[in-house]
Structures are given as C-alpha cells and as structure tokens.
Amino acid sequence: MKLSDVSALVTGGASGLGEAVVRALVKSGGRVTMLDLTDERGKNLEKELGGSVLYCRADVSSESDVAAGIDGAIGRFGTINAVVNAAGIAHAGRTIGKKGPMELQQFERALRINLTGTFNVIRLAAMKMSENMPGDDGERGVIVNTASVAAFDGQIGQAAYAASKAGVVGMTLPIARELAAYGIRNVTVAPGIFDTPMMASFTDEVRSALGKSVPFPQRLGRPDEFASLVLHVIENSMLNGETIRLDGALRMAPK
C-alpha cells in the first residue's frame, strides 16, 4: 500500500509511539484519525498537523466510542484502509503483594484496555475495510498492533501486562488467517524499551541503566524508529500474520 494513499486510524495517537506514527504518516502524505482520551494533546496535534488529521475522543474498549471514531474518519476522509493499535497501559503489580493478592480489577483493566481494546478496534475497523475496493494484490487494508517484549519475557510484577500483550501476539496469526479472505493483513510489533512519556517520570540514572541493558544499540528506542517499522509494514504487502520484535536484541531479566 502506498503511504500517500493511506487513511489510517491510530489509537493512542496523541502521544508516545502513536504520536510518532501519526507524524510519520502525515509526513508521507497520509491522512490520520487519532483515537485517544487526552483531549488537549489530541486537539493541539490536530491543529498543528492541519487538515490531514482528525482527533476523536474514544476509549478503545468501548464499542460505541470506536464505532463513532470510525464513522468520523470515514466522514472526513472517505475511507479507512489502515489501523495502528498503539493505545495501552503499562500496569505493574505483584500477584501477591504486601497488602495481599492483587486486586482482580487491576488485572482485568490491563486486559480490557490492552487486549480487548485492541480486538475491539480490529473487529470494527476490519468490517469497514472489508467493504473497500481492492488495490494492489487485492489488498483492502492493513492492521498493525502493538504488543511488547513482555509478551515473551515478562518481568516480576508484570503478570497482567505480560498476559495482555501475549494475548495480542497470540491472536495475530488467527486474525490474519481469517481476514486474508478479505484482503486485509494483520501484523504485530513487539517493542522493547522505548523513550515514551512513561519513561519521562524516571530519573536520568534509571533511564541510562535501562538503555545500557539493551545489547545494541545501548540506548532507549526512539518513537520514530517504531513509526518507521510501522510504515514499512503498511507498505510491504508480504508482511502478514507476524509478530516483529523491535528491541535491540533485549531479553528482559526477571526484574
């Protein structure tokens, strides 16, 4: 798919990895609808990037919110043919802590946003994309999800987060197989440690230590590097049903 032909839906598009994707797509001539819950950042980004961007407030786990966002995207840009699922939360908590077992609602919240939210967007967007006119190779759309290396080697305190991201990895291939009949691809990226707003709360010493834990390059990943891979996935029609680690060969230690 040519990037200049892209009309994308990007969840979590107002900050971090999602924002990097939004900026990269617009720079490449694409159009983007951002779904997020940070109104100020979303509206400012919409204003900054101009008519190629639309911001819609949406909780990815809400059917009505996502459906409204998709309708808004189609109303503004005529279609959607790409989805980038970048919305998520990084929940930390031990199974058994000093105050007893983890609250079940904490575990459920991580799954609801990271896993159920991702699937919610996939199912609703794929339905609309299945109605698109096929392009090169019969392609009607492409979906790029965000997992994490925690899906494979989650650390202590990451049971909920790792489970939610492992679920995203686990559904990548079966969804790709199902959507193949409609000419829609489904791919997942599993990033390592990236320099996102969440990292801004850490001290320079902690950030440096985290960067040095990466074999090469020994630094935090940059959001634009994540965006670059996402854009390549969109362009490369042979990429389908795969989870791609983007982590500098990092394998997380237990803690």
Instruction: Determine if the pTM surpasses 0.75.
Output: yes
Tell the residue number behind the tokens 């079940």, with chain if given: 104
Q: Read off the pLDDT of residues 29-72 as tens digits, 9 standing for 90 and up.
A: 999 999 999 999 999 999 999 999 999 999 999 999 999 999 99
Mean pLDDT, the chain, rounded, equals 95
Catalytic positions are 161
Cα–Cα distance, 228 to 24 (Å, whole number): 8
pLDDT average, residue stretch 105-125: 97
What are the extents of the domains in the chain?
A: 3-192+223-246
Query: How many CA atoms lie less than 13 Å away from 50 in the CB half-sphere?
Result: 6
Residue 198: pLDDT above 90?
Answer: no
Give the SS3 label for residue 24. Answer: helix
pLDDT average, residue stretch 75-94: 95
pLDDT at 103: 94
**For residue 91, what pLDDT band results from cuts at 50, 70 and 90?**
confident
**For residue 208, what pLDDT band results from cuts at 50, 70 and 90?**
confident
CATH level 3 topology of 3-192+223-246 = Rossmann fold (3.40.50)
Q: Read off the pLDDT of residues 125-147 as tens digits, 9 standing for 90 and up.
A: 999 999 999 998 999 999 999 99
Burial of 89 per CB tally in 10 Å (0-12, 13-18, 19+):
middle
Percent pLDDT > 90 in the chain is 91
Cα–Cα distance, 75 to 80 (Å, whole number): 10
Measured CA distances, 161 to 77, 91, 108, 152, 172 (Å)? 34, 6, 10, 11, 17
